[in-house]
Structure 1
Amino acid sequence: MSEYDFHALNDKEFEVLAADVISKRDGVLVERFKPGKDGGVDGRYFSSTGGEIIIQCKHWFKTGITALLSHLQKEEVEKVKKLSPERYIFVTSLELSKANKQKIKSIFSPFIHKESDVVGREDLNDFLGDNPNIEEKHYKLWMTSTTVLNRIIHSAIHGRSQYKIEEISSKLAMYAMTESHLKAEKKLEELHSVIICGEPGVGKTFLAEQLCYQYIAQDYKFIYIENSLNEAEDIFDPQKKQIFYFDDFLGTNYLEAFNAHEDSHVVSFIKRVQSSSNKRFILTSRTNILNRAKRLSEIFEQKNTSQNEFLLAVGNLSKFDKAKILYNHIWFGNLTPKYVNELYTDKRYLKIIVHKNFNPRLVQFITDCQRLDEVKPEHYWSYIETSLSNPSQIWRKVFDSQLSEKSLYLVLAVVLNEKPIEEGLLEEFYYRLLENKPGLAKSSSFTTEIKALTGALVNRTQVYDKKHYYSLFNPSIRDFVNSEYATNTALMNEVLTYLRSPNALIALANYSRNGIISQEALEQVLVRQLDYYLKATQISPKLDQYTLVLFNTVFANLGEQCLRKYDLDELLDRFFFGQENTIMLEEFEFLLSNLEMQALSPYDTRLSSYIRNKLNNELNESWDDLNDEFMYVADILNLMCVDEDLKDLLKTRVIEHYHSNLTGDVMEYDAFPDALETHEIEDSELYEFLTGRLDNIEIEFSDSEVWDVVYSCDKDTIVESNRDRYEEEAKSNPHRWKGISDSDAAENEQIDDLFERQGL
């Protein structure tokens, strides 16, 4: 028989259990009430003579019997006298001695008729032992039963799985059953496999683990897959009930997995499990990684793994689901009453639930009592508002106390680069940094430092070129870094100097436009960068992409001041004329901007010859995939005195490009988002879309040339893409298509009932 202390239940869950127990014990249908609406009534039924029998529950396992008795005498007795029921039944999760029961009976005399109407922990356990159907009805209670725990203890195939089970079990009480759980469970039952995907922090691992725990309780053997499906294949037993769990199954190096044919292995294993009635398979993945993997893996597409996907998104959580998540974190989070009071003042909990940045991980952060050492209760709500409005602040402790100076520089490089940064470039940055900053300890290698950051602050991924790239673990890290470090011009200059990333220069200029740093700060960094580079390349000038972006950024932001400080002719002689440079878009951008400022003359023979050679060679040899480059090239041609044949060649290439790419451009710009049939895509609208694109290019196109491109558009592909998108949206947000939802007022009332205070 189980000996519950009911710690896994919150107070509202305990009330439901108590009502079920009394219903079964007395052979009646107990009517439950919303907490607080009837002052001391959690349930009731009527006697054969019509008298009212009231049930009151107290889940006070945190406080103890002395506090409970005091509370009953001070606050509950008067409520019961006002209600004046025919009979009063009192249920608590505390252990009660015979003396305790007699005391409670006397407190509520004459309404409690007999000691058996004072129900304590031991009475509940005795009753549940004789009525296992009630035990199984209450998910979190059943999961902590002796029977289930015995199954769980013996369910793991090996030690690693056992450790994972213990970890899952420790988090059970905090779990809030939501609609997402029921939907994922339904899909798992139908297909035997489910891929739970979602963005970081939405709770996909928590959901997956609790689904595993649920099947373990049903006597499934648990296999936790850490690295490869070979681990599962080795212990696959057709005769046994088994559940396999593969968390983050694509990891971040999904190309490495594909090179090892892991995509084929995953699909084959899903099919194998699908045909086995006694097997279940749960996988998780971040949405963006899963989507990239599907684009790169023909097997994923061909075998239609999308049917196994379940998208877990904060946007799909109802307000009441969010309320349950928050309530459980408050109830089980060990917050002291003074902090809890701050959440209840003016129903502030509602503000958290409806906040645009609501996220289970953020809720865990703001209710974590260990983070509140320096936050006084009277400042707690301000702390919550700051955390909700600026989620990036959750990273402050990590940066302030857990990062070495070298690790900080690595994170700054990833942030400033904006786009994922290739591992080799980041490693070069690291060692240039160590070489030029004597104060940094050189004892640890790049591999050691970056390994400590991976999974905590950065992600390591492998993409189409088979190289590894680093990106931020969570976008909020960028917000925090920008707020804390972006205005430190000396630090930004150091990162740029050793990183030498064009993306970082562009990002810094955008910081100025977006108000993250001042224009003055930007100019200081840019001048330092250009002065440093001109000095470093005096002997061996080199025109690379970083140099070009630096030239463009400096001249674009300093304008006339730049022309006074730097000799443009000298720059052209050193870096352009006479150099065998690979053609780059930034080169044309730089020359065009100076042509437009009249700093360069279109009649300069050196310049016209240089541009003529560049355009001739590149347009004739390798410019097969022109896009925005058209605009720059056309503008340069129109400003320069060049032969008409160059303009004709550019025109030909533009037409060739759109013959091949119009369909893709239409989908990329979502020009016909609602078209589900080809007749809904009018040729006239395609013509308008294309001319809108061509208008930016200063070249004249005839109507026949434009219509010829329009007729090359593949409408079937556009329609098919739209249909796929609609199906995905319908799966992830079915309520969108129903047009039916509970009123805000009714849902808010339900939330208020949940948060009605008793044991908190």
Structure 2
Amino acid sequence: MNNYNFSTLNDKEFEQICKDLLNAKFGLELQDFKVGKDKGIDLRYSSIKNNNSIVVQAKHYIGSKYAQLKHTLKEKEYSKIKSLKPDRYIVTTSLSLTAIEKDELKEILEPYVKTSNDIIGQESLNEYLSENKNIETKYFKLWFSSINVFRTILNNAIESRTKYLLEKIQRNFPYYVVTKKLDAANKILIKEKLLLITGQPGIGKTTLAELIILDKAKDNWKIHKVENISEAEDVISPDDEEKQLFYFDDFLGANYVEIINAHKTETQLTSFVERIKHTPNKYLILTTRTIVLNQAIEKYEKISHSKLGNEKFEIKLTDYTNYEKALILYNHLFFKKVKEDFFDKVLEEKFYFEIIRHRNYTPRIIEFITDKSKINSFSKEQYKQYVLNNLNNPKEIWRYSFNNQIDYMDRCLLITIFSFQHGCIEKHLIKSFESRLEYEKEIHNQVVNSNQFNESIKILLEGFISSQITDIEKDIRYFTFINPSLNDFFIGHISESYQERKSLISSFIYIEQLKKFNPVLSILPLEKELQLIIRDKISNKQIEFIEEEKPCLNNRKCVLILEVLCKYCKETNIDKVLLEYIKLIDIENGVAGLVSKFDYVLSNIGDSPMTHEFVKTNFIQIIESMMSSIVDTEVAMDIPTLFEIYNNNYAEYIESEDGFNNIIDVISRVLDHIEDSLKDEKQESAYDYNVVDEIYDELHSIENNLKTILFPDAEVLHDFEINPDSGFWDEKITENIGRSKYEEYQEEAYYEDHYREEKYVHENEENAINELFTKQT
């Protein structure tokens, strides 16, 4: 038997489950009463002789003690009971009660409570639930108030990051509202194995994903929260019987830089989607903002042509019914235990209608206006104005808290966290924040506390940031923003403030902190003065690499720094420092894994005569070292252009035996790489030779384009041996057909048992909302 404490249900939901259980247990037909007008009645049964034959009071106390229940019944309820004169009075409560406590309450409520069995506590309710499984499954949120259920859920968290996610979901679960979107999303996930949740910022994409994750973890699916596709590839199980769910939140937003700058990421993403689609018991949930997805589909051919461009995998979160909006608001007010004065203000003149009908309503704004760390200092009238300000100016929801509720140094730490792409571990944050503190002391004459980092962290953990332990043994702590909208706020805030940009650029120490200034993305302006600061920091060896803890060889560091100079410092004279770092590259060791970046550098040195002369003098050695690692079509096609930039004769080069063979090797290597990638991407979806023909038609087209660009004036008769391996493809097609039949059977079996949430049907939505917000007496 699952032991539920009912903490995930609000007071109205608790009353409903009590009605269902008592009706089932005692064969009654209990009636609901308008909340607040009950005069001591939540539920009642009417007989011919007595309209109040059986009266039920449902007392839902989360985190309270028996003494409160006893006081309420004795001092507030008993006088109401006397006026009602019921034949039988029943108390239900979510509190756990001992036999002695039940007897004591029976004595207080005599003669209306006939037996201690009519004082129904948590244990009895759980017993009734075990006898009525249909009621137990009806209340989706009930399941997650059981310690046993949640222990099962945590056991299915594979990494500490996922365990942290599930613990966070458990804390937030009472605020969630189950809508019809949950069933729709579940159907898509089970049928298609891929679920893409899209919508505007703050609409509830992450919440819907988290509801599904919790549901699947309860059913013993292994959960993996991943930050990139490489992580997912590393942990996907070869066991086809093991159910795995991969969750990639904001998969385009957080990784937009990588997708823009790396064709590999695009291919890797679409390839993994194909793998999930055609591997038994493996599932993928992705969330992203609608606008970002549309941009990606428009810009990147592989994403456009992949499963991600197909609407049958997508659930669009657009809006909620007014009742759903009301329930989201009510749950936040109820479970966050917002001050009674503020709750009264929401009830006053039915202000809740103004909130839920506002054109800018989103669950994120509701989360914000019920956050006690942000509102507790307000008066009743200030609170109402604060709510309206946030609804009228949703982009400004963080500005008041940032400017008025934390100190200057706390703000500096937040901006330091913002400078990292996905948050950062503690030791990197400490080091980068110390650099910012030194800058503040020197430039702004700020007085800095010796324990400033810890003091600021303590303040910010109450409403701006979250932390998690990513490695318990090594005690590695990771810090991120508590809400993605903070990132949006800082983009706007820093974009509007040159001084903030200058402070950030002047104090950064890790090259990874520059990504949001990437000119390609145009997220943050980067004026010439700021470009000079970056150049001088590089020249003075004041930049470090977070990835130094991983294998980060000299050539990699040099190429990354050269890329920053060419991309971030275009308006400055970078010739001297550019030459210094290009000379540091060990050409004989090559630039494997960095070819695209090195190609960008060689194509964009700008007005740098000394660097140009050095590359020109050593061009053949440099280009041949680069060519030995080329696997990308676009980089291969750049080769003739690089010859032209550095005044080398490409026609003469390819006429030489070595030059000819080197270019043939480049074409062969590119075609082999693309063939391998296409096989990985398409093999699981091949049910006949049509897919195989498409792959090799594409390869032959790429081959012809490469030969046309790289041998412009010659007919190349070399056979690159691009032909399908019929043995491989025959085996794969047979395997895919067999697996498809098995999955169809599995899908049908799953749907037979799949949970469907029952929705209460309200004939009049406005009355239902009023009833929801009528205060208990």
TM class by smaller structure = 0.5 to 0.7
Distance 1:238 1:409 in 2: 44
Question: 1:20-39 to 2 correspondence within 5 Å?
Answer: 20-36=20-36, 38-39=38-39
Conserved? CA contact 1:229–1:266, under 8 Å: no
In 1, the alpha carbon distance for the partners of 2:402 and 2:763 equals 40
- For 2:249, the equivalent position in structure 1 comes to 247
Alignment of structure 1 residues 566-585 onto 2, 5 Å: none
Q: How far apart are 1:59 and its partner, in Å?
A: 0.5
Pairs within 5 Å for 1:15-164 = 15-36=15-36, 38-45=38-45, 52-164=53-165
After superposition, residues 377-526 of structure 1 pair within 5 angstroms as 377=380, 379-391=382-394, 392-399=396-403, 401=406, 439=444
Q: Is the Cα contact below 8 Å between 2:44 and 2:56 reproduced in 1?
A: yes
Q: Give 1:244 deviation, angstroms.
A: 1.4
Q: In 2, are the aligned partners of 1:55 and 1:89 still within 8 Å (CA)? A: yes
**Distance in 1 separating the partners of 2:96 and 2:365:** 36
Contact 1:30–1:43 (CA<8 Å) still a contact in 2? yes
Kindly state the Cα deviation for residue 87 of structure 1 after the two structures are TM-superposed.
2.6
Matches within 5 A, 1:168-247: 168-232=169-233, 234-236=235-237, 237-247=239-249
Instruction: Summarize deviations over 1:580-627 as a string: whole Å, max 9, x none.
Output: xxxxxxxxxxxxxxxxxxxxxxxxxxxxxxxxxxxxxxxxxxxxxxxx
Secondary structure of the structure 1 residue equivalent to 2:285: strand
Shifted more, 40-49 versus 363-372: the winner is 40-49
Q: Equivalent residue for 2:264?
A: 261
Larger Rg: 1
Q: Which residue of 2 aligns with 1:755?
A: 773
Partner of 2:92: helix, strand, or coil?
strand
Counting only pairs closer than 5 Å after superposition, residues 237-386 of structure 1 correspond to structure 2 as 237-254=239-256, 256-257=258-259, 259-275=262-278, 278-305=281-308, 306-313=310-317, 315-377=318-380, 379-386=382-389
- State the distance in 2 between where 1:201 and 1:475 align: 11
Structure 1 stretch displaced more, 141-150 or 360-369: 141-150
Contact persistence 2:199–2:288 (CA under 8 A): yes
Letter of the structure 1 residue corresponding to residue 78 of structure 2? V
- Contact 1:54–1:88, Cα closer than 8 Å, also in 2: yes
Aligned length: 482
Q: Once the two structures are superposed, what CA deviation does each residue of 1:659-700 show, in whole Å capped at 9, x if it has no partner?
A: xxxxxxxxxxxxxxxxxxxxxxxxxxxxxxxxxxxxxxxxxx
Which segment drifts farther, 350-359 or 318-327?
350-359
TM-score (norm 2): 0.53
Structure 2 SS opposite 1:316 = coil
Q: Does the Cα contact within 8 Å between 1:232 and 1:244 map onto a contact in 2?
A: no
Aligned residue for 2:557?
none
1:10 matched residue in structure 2: 10
Which ranges of structure 1 fall in alignment gaps of 5 or more residues? 415-429, 444-451, 458-470, 508-544, 547-741
1:750 Cα deviation after fit: 0.9
Q: Secondary structure at the match of 2:398?
A: helix
Give the 3 Å change call, closer, same or farther, for CA 300–287 of structure 1 in structure 2: same
1:436-467 Cα shifts (integer Å, max 9, x gaps): x95489x9xxxxxxxx99xx99xxxxxxxxxx
Letter in 2 for 1:756: T
Relative to 1, partners in 2 of residues 1:33 and 1:368: Cα closer, same or farther, differing over 3 Å? Answer: same
Q: Which amino acid aligns with 2:179?
A: T
8 Å CA contact 1:249, 1:285 repeated in 2: yes
Cα drift, residue 378 of structure 1: 5.0
CA contact (8 A) 2:296 2:304 kept: no
Q: Which residue of 2 is the match for residue 733 of structure 1?
A: none
* Residues 762 and 768, structure 2, Cα contact 8 Å, conserved in 1: no
Cα 1:492–1:273 change in 2 (3 A) is: closer
Q: 1:327 to 1:472 in 2, by over 3 A?
A: closer
Question: Partner amino acid for 1:225?
Answer: V
Contact 2:203 2:319 in 1 (8 A): no
Look up the equivalent residue of 2:352 and give its one-letter code.
Answer: Y
Deviation (angstroms), 1:50: 8.9
Distance 1:358 1:198 in 2: 14
| Greater length-normalized contact order (CA 8 Å, ≥ 6 residues apart) | 2
**What is the rounded CA distance, in whole Å, between the counterparts of 2:393 and 2:159 in structure 1?**
43
Q: How does 1:704-743 map to 2 (within 5 A)?
A: none
What is the DSSP-based 3-state SS (H/G/I as helix, E as strand, rest coil) of the residue aligned with 1:6?
A: coil
Distance 1:272 1:43 in 2: 54
Deviation string, structure 1 residues 557-599 (Cα, Å, up to 9, x no partner) = xxxxxxxxxxxxxxxxxxxxxxxxxxxxxxxxxxxxxxxxxxx
* Distance of aligned partners of 1:48 and 1:223 in 2 relative to their CA distance in 1, 3 Å threshold: farther
Task: Check whether the contact 1:179–1:317 (CA below 8 A) recurs between aligned residues.
Answer: no
For 2:49 and 2:277, locate their aligned partners in 1 and report how far apart those are by CA, in whole Å. Answer: 57
SS at match of 1:385: helix
Counterpart of 1:693?
none
Q: Could you tell me which amino acid in structure 2 is paired with residue 241 of structure 1?
A: K
SS in 1 for 2:5: coil
How big is the shift at 1:753? 1.2
Aligned-partner Cα distance in 1 for 2:204–2:9: 20
Give the superposed CA RMSD.
Answer: 4.9
> Judging changes above 3 Å, is the alpha-carbon distance between structure 1 residues 104 and 473 closer, same or farther for their aligned structure 2 residues?
closer
CA contact 2:66–2:95 (8 Å) conserved in 1: yes
Q: Post-superposition shift, 1:333?
A: 1.0
1:155 to partner: Cα distance = 0.8
Change (3 A) 1:756 1:219: same
Change (3 A) 1:405 1:356: same
> Structure 1 residue 331: deviation in Å?
1.0
Amino acid at match of 1:187: I
Describe the superposition over 1:29-78 as per-residue Cα deviations: whole angstroms up to 9, x where unpaired: 54444433544333344679997433221102344333333333444334
After superposition, give the CA deviation of every residue in 1:697-745 in whole Å (9 maximum; x if it has no partner). xxxxxxxxxxxxxxxxxxxxxxxxxxxxxxxxxxxxxxxxxxxxx9999
CA separation in 1, counterparts of 2:444 and 2:143?
Answer: 59
Q: CA deviation at 1:372?
A: 2.9
Q: Return the offset for 1:410.
A: 9.1
In structure 2, C-alpha distance between the alignment counterparts of 1:405 and 1:24, rounded to whole Å: 56
- Percent identity between matched residues is 32
Letter of the 1:307 partner, please give it. Answer: E
Question: Residue 284 and residue 133 in structure 1: after superposition, are their counterparts in 2 closer, same or farther (change >3 A)?
Answer: same
Cα 1:473–1:7, aligned 2, differ >3 Å: closer, same or farther? closer
The change in CA–CA distance for 1:743 and 1:352 in structure 2 (over 3 A counts) is farther
Within 2, Cα distance between the matches of 1:267 and 1:493?
Answer: 36
Q: Hey, what's the Cα distance between the residues in 1 that align with 2:487 and 2:355?
A: 21
Q: Which string of whole-angstrom CA distances, capped at 9 and with x for unpartnered residues, describes residues 400-438 of structure 1? A: 546669969999xx9xxxxxxxxxxxxxxx99xx99x95
Query: 2:415 and 2:331 mapped to 1: Cα distance?
Result: 37
The 3 A distance-change label for structure 1 pair 475 and 255 is closer
> What aligned pairs does 1:485-634 form with structure 2 within 5 A after superposition?
none
> How high is the TM-score relative to the length of structure 1?
0.54
Q: Secondary structure at the match of 1:171?
A: helix
1:131 and 1:755 mapped to 2: Cα distance?
30
Shift of 1:14: 1.0
Contact 1:395 1:477 in 2 (8 A): no
* Shift of residue 119, structure 1, vs aligned partner: 0.4
Indicate how the Cα distance of structure 1 residues 473 and 75 shifts in structure 2: closer, same or farther if over 3 A, else same: closer
